[in-house]
Amino acid sequence: MTTAELRSLDDLHQYSQELAGRRVENDPVVQRLHVAKRIAWMFLISGSFLFYHLLDKMHEALSILR
């Protein structure tokens, strides 16, 4: 319903009741954002682990040279 279709207070009341009944979590855009956020966190965590592993191996290799 657009604002042009709101012609009376009853229409406005009905429209606000429809909006109040909606759940944001059921919106496909919000669901895609949650999935993208989850994927980004997984990449960040795995990248952090790989970076730590690389630093650990470099430290191990340099400590053998001493």
Residue 64 has pLDDT above 80, yes or no: yes
N-to-C CA span, the chain: 74
What pLDDT is stored for residue 61 in this prediction?
Answer: 92
The per-residue pLDDT for range 22-60, each reduced to its tens digit, is 888 888 999 999 999 999 999 999 999 999 999 999 999
What pLDDT is stored for residue 12 in this prediction?
Answer: 84
- Residues in the chain, total: 66
What pLDDT is stored for residue 2 in this prediction?
Answer: 59
**Token pair of 64, please?**
């053998």
CA-wise closest residue to 55 among 45, 65, 47: 47
